[in-house]
Amino acid sequence: MLSRLAVLLLLLLPRLASAQAPGPRWHSALDSLQALERLPQSDSSRVQLLCRISDQLWASDTEAAAAYSRRALALARRTHNRAGEGAALNRLGAALRESNLARALELFQESWRLGRELRDTTLQAQNLRSIGIIYVYLRDRQLGLSYYFEGLRLDSLLGDERRIAVDLSNIGLAYDLYDELDSAAYYQQRAYQLAQRLHASTNYILYGLGNVARKQGRFAEARDYYRRSVAESKRRRHLRSLNFSYLGLAALYQQQHQPDSSIHYARLGAQAARQNGFLRGVLNASVLLTQDFAQRGQLDSAFRYQKLLVTMKDTLFGQEKVMRLQNVDYLERQRAQEAVAAQQAIHNRYQTYGLLAGLAVLGLLLALRLRHGRRMQRTNAALQASLADLKQAQLMLVQREKMAFLGEMTAGVAHELQNPLSFVKRFAEVSTELVDEINGAQQLARDGNLERDILDGLKQNLLNISQHGQRATAIIKGMLEHARTGQAPRALTDLNELAREQLELAYAGMQQQFPGFAAEVRTELEPALPAVSVVAQDLGRVLLNLCTNALYAVRQRQQRAEVGYKPTVTIGSHRLPDGRLRLWVRDNGPGIASEVLPRIFEPFFTTKPVGEGTGLGLSLSHDIVVNGHGGRLEVTSQPGEGTEFRLTLPAS
């Protein structure tokens, strides 16, 4: 069957020969293992060595991997090496998974049963992961994920962090297959962080992160992830993950309506899969190539790849194979049910013995129960009294918490107002002294220069009094905004237009406040964004505050005179897959320190110098978004690189 399939591939893929050939299949690790095989050693060590060689070959040549795993299995059975037999069964199942799913499932289940008999947790976890892959192939979400999570649980008990990273990535790829992108991103990020810490391979993880970014419309990030996965796969001579990465790029370019690039990478992916014997990879490449050629109007090429697609589907998921796979699953479930029935029979027998023994002590138990009942009544009364005391204590704690919060807010207002009012008081006293001085100078002798200096100083003091009075007014206004009740009427609003207006207003205000200031302001607004019912005035104030803060940040970094620095502020929007709308404001300023970030939305907390901020802008913005619109306001920042605020509104 496989030889006929190889001939068919050569006939149907004549143009694949021009695709880029991967690097040498044999690498130093494999050469070392094969050299070690020629040395004398014990049978158990040889079984382990053959399994390791099969592992090395699996990513580049599945037929060779199957041959080595069969040799390991034969030797393990001949020498009654049960642990080695379980390991060899798992490797053989992995090698046959692409050509015979039913046989692969039988091998995995047999290996798993051996692991349970031997109490080999590592072997059990490995087979749970392998069985889960098959059910994910067959789109059985519940069963596939249940095997994955059970494998993760066992690997966690073992503390095997490298296998935990693989488990997390597999779970992320499964959620990606079911288009549950938030879950996919969560597990892939956990896998990536763990693999980075362990300096382990990340080629599959990068592919999974690329898929999430592509489906969420973050095309530049997706392209970067895929290319990094391609580079690592080539470096590791891993043809299977190379196929995934190339097909990820092909899907990305197809999504961007660039069929030429999509065809190029789909062919590279098909070439890698064909050399590895990875039939599912050829199937996935054929799907993309059929769609691309149909889009370009090249119906003969589209038809050729469609024929290959049908052949691959029949090879992998033909009716006979599906029926056999279902039979394997049925037999395994029946075996499990029989085991449960046997355990139940033993349980029933012991239950009968227990019942007979229980009758003997029933009288004693009744007596104890009566005494226990009286004791419980007394305990219950004591608990009721304790519960009443606890409720009273809770009420007192709530009242104390309210008073503590009120005291904190009052102290904050007093502290913030103290600075400008102290300045007002001091400048007023100085002004009084200047007036007394000019009166005294006039009584002694008129001196024009002295009078002018005194009047200039008096004018400057009055300006300072006005400035700090305005700061006190701003603090009081901010507190009134926090304390106001009621809600302005909502109206359907074009968020793109609102964002563009607030960015222009913020930029104009910064240029007026700091003459000569210039920065690049960009918009990345998703077209045809639906109108949403919001309080436009309140939401506009939020965006204006975020844009003003971003422009202030890039101006701070600009003043450091860094070579090649170009201050840039970007505002953007897009619709999330679940229907929510997101706006973001991003700058390339100095960023926010990690120890400061958790307090960024607290009232009166500000990173600006004294006199330049009240610390109420972000707090009020957070209140408008979260309490006024039921949304979310989040911030991420990298010191030295910039800050991004994300405003997410619920779906209409």
Residue 648 belongs to what H/E stretch? strand 642-649
Assigned domain for 127 exists: no
Q: What are the structure tokens assigned to 392, written together?
A: 């009273």
Strand segments (E) across 560-624: 568-575, 581-587
The answer to whether position 75 is within a domain reads no
Collect the ranges in the chain with pLDDT lower than 50: 1-26, 319-320, 323, 404-405, 415, 483, 485-486, 610-611, 614-615
Q: Are 269 and 239 in contact (CB under 8 A)?
A: no
d(CA 495, CA 574): 10
Tens digit of pLDDT for each residue in 529-551? 899 999 888 898 899 999 999 99
Record the tokens describing residue 59, joined without a space: 């990513």
- β 568-575/520-525 pair status: parallel
For 557, the domain range is: 491-649
Cβ pair 559, 593 in contact under 8 A: no
CA R_g for the chain:
36
Q: Are 60 and 81 in contact (CB under 8 A)?
A: no
Instruction: Report yes or no: 105 and 69 within 8 Å, Cβ to Cβ.
Output: no
Q: Is residue 95 part of a domain?
A: no
Q: What is the 3-state secondary structure (H, E, C) of 32-73?
A: HHHHHHCCCCCHHHHHHHHHHHHHHHHCCCHHHHHHHHHHHH
pLDDT of residue 327: 54
pLDDT at 615: 44
121 membership: H or E segment, kind and range: helix 121-137
Amino acid code (one letter) for 140: D
Residue 274 lies in a domain: no
Dihedrals phi, psi of 358, to nearest 5 degrees: -70, -35
Indicate whether 593 belongs to any domain. Answer: yes
Distance CA 384, CA 510 (A): 64
Residue 330 belongs to a domain: no
Identify the pLDDT of residue 355: 72
Is 641 part of any domain?
A: yes
In terms of Cα–Cα distance, which of 272, 205, 197 is closest to 16?
272
**Residue 595 forms part of a structural domain:** yes
Burial environment of residue 632 by CB neighbours within 10 A (0 to 12, 13 to 18, 19 or more): middle
Which DSSP state fits 565? -
Residue 239's nearest CA partner among 207, 210, 281 is 281
Three-class DSSP labels, 364-394: HHHHHHHHHHHHHHHHHHHHHHHHHHHHHHH
Residues 86, 123: Cα–Cα separation, whole Å? 7
Backbone angles phi, psi at 610, to 5 degrees: -60, 130
Angstrom distance (rounded) from CA 266 to CA 249: 8
Q: Tell whether pTM > 0.75.
A: no
pLDDT of residue 328: 61
DSSP string computed for 126-154: HHHHHHHHHHHHTT-HHHHHHHHHHHHHH
523 sits in which H/E element? strand 520-525
Region of 568 on the Ramachandran plot (φ > 0 left; ψ -120 to 50 alpha; else beta): beta
Which residue in 200, 137, 148 sits closest to 171, CA to CA?
148
Distance between CA atoms of residues 164 and 151, nearest Å:
9
How many domains, in total, are found in the chain? 1
Q: Which of 138, 111, 141, 110 is nearest to 51 (CA)?
A: 111
Confidence at residue 298, expressed as pLDDT on a 0 to 100 scale: 79
| Number of helices (H), then strands (E), in the chain | 22, 7
How much is the pLDDT for 648? 95
Which CATH number is 574's domain given?
3.30.565.10
Cβ pair 60, 277 in contact under 8 A: no
Q: What is the pLDDT of residue 335?
A: 62
Long-range contacts, stretch 447-450, CB < 8 angstroms, 24+ apart? none
| The predicted structure's pLDDT at residue 485 | 40
First to last CA, the chain: 55
Distant-in-sequence, close-in-space partners of 232: CB < 8 Å, separation ≥ 6:
201, 202, 203, 206, 238, 241
* Euclidean distance between CA atoms 55 and 63, whole angstroms: 12
Given this model, what pLDDT does residue 21 score?
A: 36
Whole-angstrom Cα distance, residue 230 to residue 213? 16
